[in-house]
Protein backbone atom coordinates (compact mmCIF):
# COMPACT_ATOMS: atom_id res chain seq x y z
CA UNK A 1 0.00 0.00 0.00
CA UNK A 2 1.13 3.63 -0.24
CA UNK A 3 3.45 5.06 2.40
CA UNK A 4 1.49 5.42 5.64
CA UNK A 5 -0.58 8.55 6.08
CA UNK A 6 -0.62 10.50 9.34
CA UNK A 7 -3.47 8.53 10.91
CA UNK A 8 -1.87 5.20 10.00
CA UNK A 9 1.51 6.31 11.31
CA UNK A 10 -0.03 7.34 14.61
CA UNK A 11 -1.85 4.01 14.73
CA UNK A 12 1.46 2.18 14.16
CA UNK A 13 3.18 4.02 16.99
CA UNK A 14 0.32 3.66 19.45
CA UNK A 15 0.00 -0.06 18.69
CA UNK A 16 3.70 -0.53 19.37
CA UNK A 17 3.42 1.37 22.64
CA UNK A 18 0.39 -0.59 23.81
CA UNK A 19 1.74 -4.02 22.80
CA UNK A 20 5.37 -3.31 23.83
CA UNK A 21 7.20 -3.83 20.58
CA UNK A 22 9.24 -1.46 18.45
CA UNK A 23 9.76 -0.68 14.79
CA UNK A 24 13.08 -1.17 13.11
CA UNK A 25 14.13 2.17 11.63
CA UNK A 26 16.64 1.57 8.85
CA UNK A 27 18.95 4.24 7.48
CA UNK A 28 19.24 4.00 3.71
CA UNK A 29 21.59 5.65 1.24
CA UNK A 30 20.45 4.21 -2.09
CA UNK A 31 17.54 2.53 -3.82
CA UNK A 32 19.34 -0.78 -3.23
CA UNK A 33 19.47 -0.39 0.55
CA UNK A 34 15.88 0.90 0.54
CA UNK A 35 14.79 -2.19 -1.38
CA UNK A 36 16.54 -4.42 1.16
CA UNK A 37 14.54 -2.80 3.96
CA UNK A 38 11.24 -3.00 2.10
CA UNK A 39 11.71 -6.70 1.43
CA UNK A 40 12.48 -7.39 5.08
CA UNK A 41 9.31 -5.62 6.21
CA UNK A 42 7.20 -7.42 3.61
CA UNK A 43 8.68 -10.85 4.35
CA UNK A 44 7.94 -10.55 8.08
CA UNK A 45 4.58 -8.78 7.75
CA UNK A 46 5.97 -6.01 9.89
CA UNK A 47 5.37 -2.32 9.43
CA UNK A 48 8.62 -0.39 9.43
CA UNK A 49 10.41 2.92 9.15
CA UNK A 50 12.88 3.90 6.46
CA UNK A 51 14.99 6.91 7.28
CA UNK A 52 17.49 9.18 5.56
CA UNK A 53 20.22 11.20 7.25
CA UNK A 54 21.67 14.39 5.83
CA UNK A 55 24.78 12.44 4.84
CA UNK A 56 22.68 9.70 3.25
CA UNK A 57 20.74 12.27 1.24
CA UNK A 58 23.94 13.97 0.14
CA UNK A 59 25.41 10.66 -0.99
CA UNK A 60 22.27 9.69 -2.90
CA UNK A 61 22.25 13.00 -4.81
CA UNK A 62 25.59 12.12 -6.39
CA UNK A 63 28.94 13.83 -6.30
CA UNK A 64 27.97 16.26 -9.05
CA UNK A 65 25.33 17.82 -6.80
CA UNK A 66 26.02 16.89 -3.16
CA UNK A 67 22.53 18.13 -2.30
CA UNK A 68 21.33 16.47 0.91
CA UNK A 69 17.71 17.55 0.58
CA UNK A 70 17.42 16.60 -3.10
CA UNK A 71 18.93 13.19 -2.44
CA UNK A 72 16.48 12.62 0.41
CA UNK A 73 13.57 13.60 -1.85
CA UNK A 74 14.79 11.15 -4.48
CA UNK A 75 15.00 8.29 -1.99
CA UNK A 76 11.60 9.13 -0.52
CA UNK A 77 9.98 9.17 -3.96
CA UNK A 78 11.47 5.74 -4.68
CA UNK A 79 10.03 4.35 -1.45
CA UNK A 80 6.62 5.87 -2.25
CA UNK A 81 6.61 4.08 -5.60
CA UNK A 82 7.75 0.69 -4.29
CA UNK A 83 5.62 0.70 -1.13
CA UNK A 84 2.43 0.84 -3.20
CA UNK A 85 3.04 -2.78 -4.19
CA UNK A 86 3.44 -4.10 -0.64
CA UNK A 87 0.84 -5.18 1.91
CA UNK A 88 2.44 -3.56 4.96
CA UNK A 89 2.76 0.04 6.15
CA UNK A 90 6.02 1.91 5.65
CA UNK A 91 6.79 5.30 7.16
CA UNK A 92 9.48 7.74 6.00
CA UNK A 93 11.64 9.61 8.49
CA UNK A 94 14.77 11.77 8.49
CA UNK A 95 17.51 11.11 11.02
CA UNK A 96 19.73 13.37 13.17
CA UNK A 97 19.32 16.82 11.68
CA UNK A 98 21.70 18.98 13.71
CA UNK A 99 21.05 22.71 14.16
CA UNK A 100 23.54 23.73 11.48
CA UNK A 101 21.69 21.63 8.89
CA UNK A 102 18.09 22.65 9.63
CA UNK A 103 17.97 25.29 6.88
CA UNK A 104 19.69 23.15 4.26
CA UNK A 105 18.08 19.79 5.07
CA UNK A 106 14.93 19.76 7.17
CA UNK A 107 13.29 23.00 6.02
CA UNK A 108 13.50 22.15 2.28
CA UNK A 109 11.90 18.77 3.02
CA UNK A 110 9.08 20.35 5.02
CA UNK A 111 8.59 22.83 2.17
CA UNK A 112 8.39 19.93 -0.28
CA UNK A 113 5.63 18.36 1.80
CA UNK A 114 3.83 21.72 1.96
CA UNK A 115 3.93 21.92 -1.83
CA UNK A 116 2.61 18.40 -2.13
CA UNK A 117 -0.22 19.03 0.33
CA UNK A 118 -1.22 22.20 -1.53
CA UNK A 119 -1.77 20.00 -4.61
CA UNK A 120 -3.72 17.39 -2.64
CA UNK A 121 -0.83 14.93 -2.62
CA UNK A 122 0.37 12.93 0.41
CA UNK A 123 3.23 14.02 2.63
CA UNK A 124 6.73 13.25 1.39
CA UNK A 125 8.04 12.32 4.86
CA UNK A 126 5.99 11.24 7.87
CA UNK A 127 8.42 12.53 10.48
CA UNK A 128 11.67 14.41 10.92
CA UNK A 129 14.29 14.38 13.65
CA UNK A 130 15.73 17.58 15.05
CA UNK A 131 18.81 16.71 17.07
CA UNK A 132 19.36 19.76 19.26
CA UNK A 133 21.22 17.79 21.91
CA UNK A 134 24.39 19.83 21.37
CA UNK A 135 22.51 22.97 22.46
CA UNK A 136 21.70 24.10 26.01
CA UNK A 137 18.38 22.51 26.97
CA UNK A 138 16.35 25.73 26.85
CA UNK A 139 17.68 26.56 23.39
CA UNK A 140 17.05 22.98 22.25
CA UNK A 141 13.43 23.21 23.41
CA UNK A 142 12.91 26.65 21.88
CA UNK A 143 14.05 25.53 18.44
CA UNK A 144 12.12 22.26 18.77
CA UNK A 145 8.97 24.27 19.47
CA UNK A 146 9.40 26.35 16.32
CA UNK A 147 9.91 23.27 14.17
CA UNK A 148 7.08 21.34 15.82
CA UNK A 149 4.61 24.15 15.18
CA UNK A 150 5.34 23.97 11.48
CA UNK A 151 5.39 20.17 11.43
CA UNK A 152 2.08 19.90 13.30
CA UNK A 153 0.38 22.10 10.70
CA UNK A 154 1.41 19.56 8.07
CA UNK A 155 0.69 16.34 10.01
CA UNK A 156 4.39 15.63 10.45
CA UNK A 157 5.68 14.06 13.68
CA UNK A 158 8.86 15.56 15.12
CA UNK A 159 11.50 13.48 16.86
CA UNK A 160 13.63 15.34 19.40
CA UNK A 161 16.62 14.41 21.54
CA UNK A 162 18.08 15.47 24.87
CA UNK A 163 21.30 14.08 26.22
CA UNK A 164 23.87 12.94 23.66
CA UNK A 165 24.31 9.64 21.84
CA UNK A 166 27.98 8.73 22.04
CA UNK A 167 30.23 7.35 19.33
CA UNK A 168 30.43 8.53 15.72
CA UNK A 169 27.82 8.59 12.98
CA UNK A 170 27.36 10.49 9.75
CA UNK A 171 30.45 12.62 10.36
CA UNK A 172 29.44 13.72 13.89
CA UNK A 173 31.89 12.50 16.53
CA UNK A 174 30.80 12.25 20.17
CA UNK A 175 33.39 9.68 21.22
CA UNK A 176 34.94 11.97 23.84
CA UNK A 177 31.64 13.17 25.31
CA UNK A 178 31.58 13.37 29.14
CA UNK A 179 29.76 10.38 30.61
CA UNK A 180 27.03 12.45 32.30
CA UNK A 181 25.98 13.85 28.93
CA UNK A 182 25.03 10.34 27.77
CA UNK A 183 22.13 10.09 30.23
CA UNK A 184 18.87 12.05 30.03
CA UNK A 185 17.43 13.10 33.39
CA UNK A 186 13.81 12.60 34.55
CA UNK A 187 13.54 16.37 34.84
CA UNK A 188 14.39 16.75 31.16
CA UNK A 189 11.81 14.15 30.18
CA UNK A 190 9.15 15.99 32.16
CA UNK A 191 10.11 19.34 30.66
CA UNK A 192 10.01 17.99 27.11
CA UNK A 193 6.53 16.57 27.66
CA UNK A 194 5.28 19.73 29.33
CA UNK A 195 6.50 22.11 26.65
CA UNK A 196 6.16 20.12 23.42
CA UNK A 197 3.14 17.83 23.84
CA UNK A 198 0.62 20.73 23.73
CA UNK A 199 1.98 21.75 20.31
CA UNK A 200 2.03 18.50 18.38
CA UNK A 201 2.92 14.82 18.33
CA UNK A 202 6.52 13.94 19.09
CA UNK A 203 8.86 10.99 19.44
CA UNK A 204 11.64 11.38 21.95
CA UNK A 205 15.21 10.07 21.82
CA UNK A 206 16.05 10.12 25.52
CA UNK A 207 19.58 8.86 26.03
CA UNK A 208 20.59 6.16 28.49
CA UNK A 209 24.22 5.50 27.55
CA UNK A 210 23.54 4.85 23.86
CA UNK A 211 26.52 4.81 21.51
CA UNK A 212 26.55 4.85 17.73
CA UNK A 213 28.60 2.12 16.14
CA UNK A 214 29.53 -1.34 17.42
CA UNK A 215 31.91 -1.84 20.31
CA UNK A 216 33.33 -4.82 22.14
CA UNK A 217 31.09 -6.29 24.88
CA UNK A 218 31.32 -4.29 28.08
CA UNK A 219 32.42 -1.05 26.43
CA UNK A 220 28.93 0.42 26.31
CA UNK A 221 27.16 0.99 29.63
CA UNK A 222 23.45 1.14 28.89
CA UNK A 223 21.11 2.04 31.75
CA UNK A 224 17.58 1.36 30.46
CA UNK A 225 16.09 2.14 33.88
CA UNK A 226 16.69 5.81 33.09
CA UNK A 227 13.80 5.52 30.63
CA UNK A 228 11.60 3.90 33.26
CA UNK A 229 12.36 6.57 35.83
CA UNK A 230 11.76 9.37 33.34
CA UNK A 231 8.43 7.92 32.21
CA UNK A 232 7.35 7.49 35.83
CA UNK A 233 8.20 11.14 36.53
CA UNK A 234 6.20 12.28 33.49
CA UNK A 235 3.18 10.19 34.47
CA UNK A 236 3.31 11.39 38.08
CA UNK A 237 3.45 15.08 37.17
CA UNK A 238 1.41 15.24 33.96
CA UNK A 239 -0.65 12.04 33.72
CA UNK A 240 -0.30 8.77 31.79
CA UNK A 241 -1.45 10.34 28.51
CA UNK A 242 1.82 12.28 28.42
CA UNK A 243 4.11 9.23 28.50
CA UNK A 244 6.65 9.49 25.71
CA UNK A 245 6.96 7.49 22.52
CA UNK A 246 10.64 6.73 22.99
CA UNK A 247 13.36 6.11 20.41
CA UNK A 248 16.43 3.94 20.94
CA UNK A 249 19.44 5.35 19.07
CA UNK A 250 22.68 3.43 18.72
CA UNK A 251 20.84 0.12 18.56
CA UNK A 252 23.45 -1.79 16.54
CA UNK A 253 25.35 -4.28 18.66
CA UNK A 254 23.16 -3.85 21.75
CA UNK A 255 22.46 -6.77 24.07
CA UNK A 256 19.08 -8.36 23.40
CA UNK A 257 18.21 -8.20 27.11
CA UNK A 258 18.73 -4.43 27.10
CA UNK A 259 16.64 -4.06 23.96
CA UNK A 260 13.76 -6.04 25.43
CA UNK A 261 13.92 -4.11 28.69
CA UNK A 262 13.50 -0.81 26.87
CA UNK A 263 10.36 -2.07 25.14
CA UNK A 264 8.67 -2.21 28.52
CA UNK A 265 9.56 1.41 29.17
CA UNK A 266 8.00 2.82 26.01
CA UNK A 267 10.57 2.43 23.21
CA UNK A 268 8.61 2.14 19.95
CA UNK A 269 11.42 2.78 17.43
CA UNK A 270 15.02 1.58 17.31
CA UNK A 271 17.53 2.89 14.79
CA UNK A 272 19.71 0.29 13.13
CA UNK A 273 22.47 1.48 10.82
CA UNK A 274 25.96 0.19 11.62
CA UNK A 275 24.93 -3.47 11.62
CA UNK A 276 23.14 -3.14 8.29
CA UNK A 277 26.08 -1.29 6.76
CA UNK A 278 28.30 -4.24 7.62
CA UNK A 279 25.71 -6.76 6.47
CA UNK A 280 25.52 -5.03 3.07
CA UNK A 281 29.27 -4.72 2.60
CA UNK A 282 30.45 -8.14 3.84
CA UNK A 283 29.16 -10.23 0.89
CA UNK A 284 30.58 -7.68 -1.55
CA UNK A 285 34.03 -8.21 -0.03
CA UNK A 286 33.51 -11.96 -0.16
CA UNK A 287 32.48 -11.79 -3.83
CA UNK A 288 35.47 -9.69 -4.82
CA UNK A 289 37.97 -11.89 -2.99
CA UNK A 290 36.58 -15.12 -4.38
CA UNK A 291 36.35 -13.77 -7.91
CA UNK A 292 39.40 -11.52 -7.89
CA UNK A 293 40.75 -12.62 -11.28
CA UNK A 294 37.34 -12.37 -12.91
CA UNK A 295 36.34 -8.89 -11.74
CA UNK A 296 39.56 -7.31 -13.06
CA UNK A 297 40.93 -6.88 -16.56
CA UNK A 298 44.61 -7.65 -16.12
CA UNK A 299 47.45 -8.33 -18.53
CA UNK A 300 45.24 -8.37 -21.60
CA UNK A 301 42.53 -10.56 -20.06
CA UNK A 302 38.90 -9.43 -20.30
CA UNK A 303 37.61 -10.64 -16.94
CA UNK A 304 34.17 -12.16 -16.52
CA UNK A 305 31.23 -9.83 -17.05
CA UNK A 306 28.99 -12.10 -14.99
CA UNK A 307 31.17 -11.42 -11.98
CA UNK A 308 31.90 -7.70 -12.31
CA UNK A 309 28.36 -6.74 -13.30
CA UNK A 310 27.22 -4.74 -10.23
CA UNK A 311 24.01 -6.73 -10.19
CA UNK A 312 25.98 -9.89 -9.40
CA UNK A 313 27.32 -8.60 -6.08
CA UNK A 314 24.56 -6.06 -5.49
CA UNK A 315 21.93 -8.77 -5.09
CA UNK A 316 24.11 -10.55 -2.55
CA UNK A 317 24.51 -7.30 -0.62
CA UNK A 318 20.77 -6.62 -0.62
CA UNK A 319 19.90 -10.15 0.50
CA UNK A 320 22.37 -10.01 3.39
CA UNK A 321 21.04 -6.64 4.52
CA UNK A 322 17.48 -7.97 4.31
CA UNK A 323 18.45 -10.92 6.51
CA UNK A 324 20.00 -8.62 9.11
CA UNK A 325 16.89 -6.41 9.17
CA UNK A 326 14.68 -9.48 9.60
CA UNK A 327 16.77 -10.39 12.64
CA UNK A 328 16.20 -6.91 14.06
CA UNK A 329 12.47 -7.07 13.36
CA UNK A 330 12.23 -10.31 15.30
CA UNK A 331 14.39 -8.94 18.12
CA UNK A 332 12.01 -5.98 18.42
CA UNK A 333 8.96 -8.29 18.27
CA UNK A 334 7.21 -6.45 15.43
CA UNK A 335 6.98 -9.42 13.05
CA UNK A 336 3.42 -10.27 12.10
CA UNK A 337 2.07 -7.13 13.77
CA UNK A 338 1.33 -4.86 10.84
CA UNK A 339 -1.75 -2.71 11.40
CA UNK A 340 -3.01 -4.24 8.14
CA UNK A 341 -2.91 -7.83 9.46
State the catalytic residues: 95
How far is the C-alpha of 303 from the C-alpha of 326, rounded, in Å?
35
Instruction: Please state, as a whole number, how many other Cβ atoms lie within 10 Å of the Cβ of residue 283.
Output: 18
Q: Is 148 exposed, middle or buried (0-12, 13-18, 19+ CB in 10 A)?
A: buried
Classify 215 as helix, strand or coil. Answer: coil
For residue 195, give the nearest of 233, 146, 157, 240 by alpha carbon: 146
Strand order in the sheet with 166-169: 172-174, 166-169, 211-212
**In 53-74, which positions are buried (b, 16+ CB within 10 angstroms) versus exposed (e)?**
bbbbbbbbbeeeeebbbbbbbb
Classify 274 as helix, strand or coil. Answer: helix
For residue 140, CA distances in Å to 52, 146, 153, 163 come to: 22, 10, 20, 11
For residue 94, give the nearest of 122, 128, 144, 133 by alpha carbon: 128
Q: Is 241 exposed, middle or buried (0-12, 13-18, 19+ CB in 10 A)?
A: exposed
DSSP letter assigned to residue 90: E
For residue 239, give the nearest of 185, 198, 183, 184 by alpha carbon: 198
Amino acid sequence: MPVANYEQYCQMLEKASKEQFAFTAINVTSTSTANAALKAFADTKSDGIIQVSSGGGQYCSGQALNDMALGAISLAQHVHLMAEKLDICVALHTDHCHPDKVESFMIPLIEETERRRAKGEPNLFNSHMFDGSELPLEQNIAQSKQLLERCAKNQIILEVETGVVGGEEDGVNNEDMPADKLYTTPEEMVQIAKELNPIGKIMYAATFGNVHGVYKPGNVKLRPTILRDGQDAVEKELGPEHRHLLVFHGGSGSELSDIHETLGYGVIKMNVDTDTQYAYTRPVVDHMMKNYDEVLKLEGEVGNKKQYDPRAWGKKAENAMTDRIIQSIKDLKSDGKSILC
